[in-house]
Chains A and B, each alone.
Chain A
Amino acid sequence: MGKYLDFVSIPPDVWSLIFTWCNLLILFLLVKKFLFKPVQNILKQRDAEVREMYEKAEEAEKNAKSLEAEYSERLGGAKEEAGRIMQEATRSARERGDEIVGEAQAKAAGLISRAEAQIEREREAAVGELRAQVADMAVAIAEKVIEKEIDPSDHARLVEDFMSSEVEKR
């Protein structure tokens, strides 16, 4: 049986106290070195990595947004351009169409007027011829009826009067 310290002694054994302090200090350093330092380092690294990832993601999002804006801007420009082109095309087409139609109408009008003029001319010619024939026929008929020579100038005047009254009547 060795020696024993007291169960409780006030003040306590000085060497035990000193050993206790040394033990606590040594254990503190060991725990800090072996557990806290490495784990905190790892946690910090992970934190940094996560933050970096977030930053990257944010940057990518920003990029995507600017690209999107650019594209939508370009798309808008293209649409506008297309609309403009379309309008232009429509306008020129309409102009061209109008032009064509106008030309066609002019041509048609020319044709019509020429045809009308020809018709008129022919009608007049026909009327003149008819008139002459009718006059001749009337003279012949009258000669036959009255058996009497009428003075050709009177005759012509008579026919003329008759014809114009007939024409007017019509």
Chain B
Amino acid sequence: MNVDVKGPEILFEIPVLGGIGVSETIVNSWIIMAVIALVCFFLGRNLKVKNPSKRQLVAEKAVTMITNLVTDVMGEKNAGWAPYIGTLLIFSAVSSLSSLTGLRPPTADLATTLGWALVTFVMVQVTNIRCHGVSGWLKGFTQPIFVMTPLNIISEVANPISMAFRHFGNIASGLVITSLVYAALAALSSLVLGWIPVIGQIPFLQVGLPALLSIYFDLFTSVLQAYIFSMLTMVFVSGAQD
């Protein structure tokens, strides 16, 4: 039996600059973005000050929870970060959870998580420069003594890499294990039911069983990793402020 864990498939190419390959990751994240945007649009429509509907209560609860999370971690003055952190949290969680519907989760591609982590990295550096000035930012690398400079730079660069690999590794391991389980179940069903002429070609055992694994590898890990990614973003950004 041949287990083949492939990367994201290139679904089509945009014929400019020698062909920009648009991979499954990107298309899936567009689908997820559309879903999130629609849900947000649905939730944020027709808001009223008095007698809010249930839909509005959900929207308010979500916004208040995210804002509270941000102000708890970053302090009251950073409440303006709530939309970005909320976007990151929702996008990451829904992306990882999309594997439940059979899509290839965008977060199982290193490009996605590394992209987000690099955004966090740039934000941290920009925040640092904005709060301490360019000289203060550069001086920060020579703390506590000058000899530590290379180590400081490495530790600063290691942050986004570690964030990206952590998120990617958790989701990709789930993907790999799910593929392995699917392949194993296909092999098992062809072994058990293969003697039946037509029906034997359908891998019946793939129905149901992988769902149990999904509960741990997709539900729990997805939500936890989304939380941790946004938590670390908040911690790094607010750490750069002081």
Contact = CB atoms under 8 A, between A and B. Distances in A.
In the complex, A touching B, CB below 8 Å? yes
Interface of A: 2-10, 12-13, 15-17, 19-21, 23-24, 26-28, 30-32, 34-43, 45-46, 49
Interface stretch (B111-119, B135-143, B149-157, B182-190): B111-119
Contacts of B82: 36
B108 to A, nearest CB: 9
A9 B47 contact: no
B49 A5 contact: no
Nearest to B164: A12
Interface residues of B, number: 52
A3 B19 CA distance: 13
A169 to B, nearest CB: 119
Interface string B42-57: 0111011100100010
A9 B49 contact: no
Nearest to B20: A15
17 contacts: A4-B9, A5-B23, A5-B109, A7-B5, A8-B168, A16-B8, A16-B109, A16-B111, A27-B87, A31-B83, A32-B87, A35-B43, A35-B63, A36-B82, A39-B47, A42-B60, A43-B63
A36 B83 contact: yes
Contacts of B9: 2-5
B33 A6 contact: no
B60 to A, nearest CB: 6
Given A24-B87, A49-B49, 6 more contacts: A4-B9, A5-B23, A7-B5, A23-B29, A30-B37, A31-B40
A99 to B, nearest CB: 76
A24 to B, nearest CB: 6
Given A17-B114, A24-B119, A28-B84, A36 B63 contact: yes
Interface of B: 5-11, 20-23, 25-26, 29-30, 33, 36-37, 40-41, 43-45, 47-49, 52, 56, 59-60, 62-64, 82-84, 86-88, 90-91, 109-112, 114-116, 118-119, 168, 172
Contacts, number: 134
Contact of A13 (B21, B41, B43, B87): B21
A27 B95 CA distance: 12
B33 A5 contact: no
A87 to B, nearest CB: 60
A31 B109 contact: no
A132 to B, nearest CB: 123
Contact of A34 (B44, B109, B172): B44
Nearest to A26: B33
Contact of B7 (A7, A34, A42): A7
Contact of A2 (B11, B48, B60, B172): B11
B37 A20 contact: no
B96 to A, nearest CB: 15
A15 to B, nearest CB: 5
A49 to B, nearest CB: 6
A9 B10 contact: no
Nearest to A7: B7
B49 A42 contact: yes
B78 to A, nearest CB: 15
A7 B10 CA distance: 12
A41 to B, nearest CB: 8
B37 A31 contact: yes
> What are the 9 A-B residue pairs with the smallest beta carbon separation, nearest first?
A20-B115, A16-B111, A12-B111, A35-B40, A5-B7, A34-B40, A32-B83, A39-B63, A7-B7
